[in-house]
Amino acid sequence: MPASKAGHPATGRIALSVNNAPRQVGDLGDQIWPVPDIIQALSTLVALAPGDLIFTGTPDGVGPLMRGDVLEGEIDGIGIVQTRIV
């Protein structure tokens, strides 16, 4: 979703499930740096394009992934992204 439509939420649930089982849940407000600051700093180093994903760290629940696992990431009010490990 474009930032022009979604804005830059400062808080909101961010979650990851693996094979429909919750794995990680956090809140944007718990990050050390606000999302706009992260995007601004990263964009000075690399060209960002629509569809790029920015990985900033992880809340509790990190664990191994296996071939065939289906991951679903979600940010409340923004949307869902899904991928399969091949």
34: CATH: 3.90.850.10
Contact by Cβ (8 Å): 45, 52: no
pLDDT for the residue 5: 87
Contact by Cβ (8 Å): 9, 28: yes
Q: Which two tokens stand for residue 69?
A: 């696992």
- Domains contained in the chain, number: 1
pLDDT tens series, the chain, 86 aa? 777 888 888 899 999 999 999 999 999 898 889 888 999 999 999 999 988 888 887 778 888 999 999 999 999 989 999 999 99
pLDDT for the residue 53: 83
Domain boundaries, position 52 = 3-84
pLDDT for the residue 43: 95
Scanning the chain, the segments in alpha helix (DSSP H) are 3-6, 35-43
